[in-house]
Amino acid sequence: MSRLHPSEERAALEESVRRWCEDRATVAAEPRFVAERWREIAGFGWLAAVLEESAGGLGLSPSHASVIAEALAPAASQEPFAAQLALGGWVLARARGGVARDALLETWLAGESLVALADGDPAAPPWTSRPAFWGRRVGGDLLLDGEAPLALDGMLASHCLLVVADEREAKALYVLPAAALERVAREALDGRAHASIRCAGLAAPDDARLEFEAGTDAVLAEAAWLHALCAAAESVGLLRAMLRASVVYLGQREQFGRALIEFQVLQHRLVDMTLTLTRLESLLEVARFKVDELGLLAASPWIAAAKAATGEEGRAVARAAVQLHGAIGLTAELALGRQLRRLTALELLAGTTAQHEAHWRATRTA
């Protein structure tokens, strides 16, 4: 019954990430992406963990990515692990080898380059087909036109993965240097450096096209579900940190002549947060279990359940954490505010709470 017990790899990953986070606790509030920290993350092999060995990865099950995301959550506020892993490295690793792809994957794995997925309509569920660019053949050239309104980490990326609908096929992915594209910074509430990405009549060389044995749509859908799983896991990591901070804070803050934690009404609020957190942890474990058992696509109902729950119920836990801190909970100094902003971003990313809820509702009995 191996999968009912955490694997050794999982325990080792959790432990190493936890130690890294502790060492970096003091710089956790760093409001910007720091390239050196990202290279450290790469150096530990966390980017490689779930990629196939043939692509330079360690070959662990994709559920392990969510273990890293959960453990990183409290300290790594600016390292775009979930999106880079799911929408970047995972997609590159699934593509057939080629000179451009191999070189990019190598630098990505080393933490030296980041990639951004440039896809369409951010309001649609990310596991649906969402091309952002249209290709037309003019002579021998494929010319691309279009705009990706919200390419995650777009301003950090050296390369973009353009989701293109061309005349022959529904969808294809082209990897192009960011410098060749028109980028407009879109800084997000959680400090992330997203971008809108545009091009008009840009010629895409044939070798920029990524080929997928599994099919482009399937790999993009897989990437979306992996992103959702990691987002749910990161949310759980954040919520646990917020709950712990609340327990500690109430133990320190005195009012009415005693520590606030002595008031039963506050104790019970902490317990209700704990009950919710336990529920979310369990749903996350169900999702991981199903991913290991069935693969990302077939596990989508359970990933959706976990993601919907972390959105809907996480909101209440986070609100309670702010409430229990009083006014100081609304200040910029506290990690709490940063965590709340990131949590809110996660609720809207990788499929919104409502989209995941709808997916769970539609597929739960299947």
Partner 1 sequence: MLIESALGDAERAFLAEVRAFLAAELDPALVAAEDAQRSFIADHERGNRWIDRLRRRRWHVGHWPAAHGGAGLTPMENYLLQYEQGLHGAPAAPPMGLAYVGPTVIRFGTEAQRAAVLPPLIAGEDHWCQGFSEPGAGSDLARVQTFAERRGERYVINGSKIWTTDAQHANKIFVLLRTRRDDSREALSFFLVDMATPGVTVRPLRMLTGDHEFNQVFFDDVEVGPEALLAGEGQGWAVARFLLEIERGSFVFGGRLRRRLARLEARLRAAGRVDAQVEHALARLDRDLLAYEMTELRLGTLAQGGALQNAAANLIKIDWTELLVRMDELGLASADPSALCADGAPLREGELGMPGWLASRFNNLAAPIYGGSNEVQRNLVFRTLRQAWGSA
Return the bridge partners of 198, or none: 147, 182
Instruction: Kindly tell me which residue out of 95, 309, 320, 350 binds partner 1, with binding defined by CB under 8 A.
Output: 309
Q: Which is nearer to partner 1, 39 or 244 (CB)?
A: 244
Q: How far is the CB of 319 from partner 1 (least distance, A)?
A: 19
Count the residues in the chain.
366
Which helix (H) or strand (E) covers residue 103, if one does?
helix 99-109
How far apart CA 28 and CA 34 sit, in angstroms, is 11
Half-sphere exposure of 232 (CA within 13 A, CB side): 34
Q: Does 3 bind partner 1 (CB under 8 A)?
A: yes
Does 320 sit near partner 1 (CB under 8 A)?
Answer: no
**Binding piece for partner 1, criterion CB under 8 A, among 20-28, 36-44, 212-220, 264-272:** 264-272
Query: Nearest approach, Cβ of 3 to partner 1 (angstroms)?
Result: 4
Residue 244 interacts with partner 1 (CB under 8 A): yes or no: yes
Q: What angle do CA 244, 247, 250 make, to 5 degrees?
A: 145
* Number of residues binding to partner 1, judged by CB under 8 A: 37
Query: Residue 167 CB, nearest distance to partner 1 (Å)?
Result: 41
Grouping H, G, I as helix, E, B as strand and the rest as coil, residue 68 is helix
In terms of Cα–Cα distance, which of 267, 251, 263, 262 is closest to 320? 267
Q: In the set 123, 293, 316, 330, which binds partner 1 (CB under 8 A)?
A: 293
Q: How far apart are CA 337 and CA 41, in angstroms?
A: 24
> What are 209's strand-pairing partners?
174
User: Site for partner 1 (CB under 8 A): which residue of 305, 340, 343, 345?
Assistant: 305
User: Per CB under 8 A, does 289 bind partner 1?
Assistant: yes
Q: Find where tokens 């409502």 sit.
A: 354
Give least dist CB 47 to partner 1, A. 27
The helix (H) or strand (E) run that includes residue 94 is helix 90-94
Q: How far apart, in Å, do the first and last CA atoms of the chain sit? A: 25
40 near 21, Cβ under 8 Å? no
Largest CA-CA distance found in the chain, in angstroms, rounded:
82
Residue 336 as a binder of partner 1 (CB under 8 A): the answer is: no
Query: Which of 254, 268, 298, 319 touches partner 1 (CB under 8 A)?
Result: 268
Decide if residue 282 touches partner 1 (CB under 8 A): yes
The reply on whether position 285 binds partner 1 by CB under 8 A is yes
Closer to partner 1 by CB, 25 or 34: give it: 25
Binding site residues, partner 1, CB under 8 A: 1-6, 243-244, 247-248, 251, 261, 264, 267-268, 270-272, 274-275, 278-280, 282-283, 285-286, 289, 293, 302, 305, 308-309, 357, 360-361, 364
